[in-house]
Amino acid sequence: MIIKLLYFFAFICSSAIFAQNSVSGKILGKDNLPLSDVEVLLINPSNQETLKVAITDKEGKFELENVKFDEAKIIIEQNNYEKFTSEIIKPSETNILLPDITLKVYQN
């Protein structure tokens, strides 16, 4: 009986681990060039809690790994660019690949 309970517990734990999501994408700036070292926030839209943070690489790519959420938004703030806030993201699959995000140059 104890063995069966241990197997059941292991199954439940492994299911919870695999239920985690990842969100990835690419950030572009002026002239559609990739932006590196940009902070990308994944937030809970209901309470504005930050769920995860990623920094873009030299190709402008980012990945927010091992996050669990029902709804989320992407927020990006970068010097000389307007703040970007995505629409609400609802996980429909485990790995979410967002379309390229082009930041608008800030106009004084």
Distance CA 15, CA 95 (A): 16
Report the SS3 class of residue 45.
coil
With cut-offs at 50, 70 and 90, classify the pLDDT of residue 4.
very low
Domains parsed from the chain with CATH numbers: 21-102 (2.60.40.10)
For the whole model, what pTM was predicted?
0.78
Task: Write the pLDDT tens digit of every residue in 40-83.
Answer: 999 999 999 999 999 999 999 999 999 999 999 999 999 999 99
Distance CA 18, CA 36 (A): 30
Residue 23 burial class via C-beta count within 10 angstroms: exposed 0-12, middle 13-18, buried 19 and up: buried
Q: Confirm if 101 and 84 have CB atoms less than 8 A apart.
A: yes
How far is CA 86 from each of CA 3, 19, 34, 59, 81, rounded to the nearest angstrom? 47, 23, 18, 20, 15
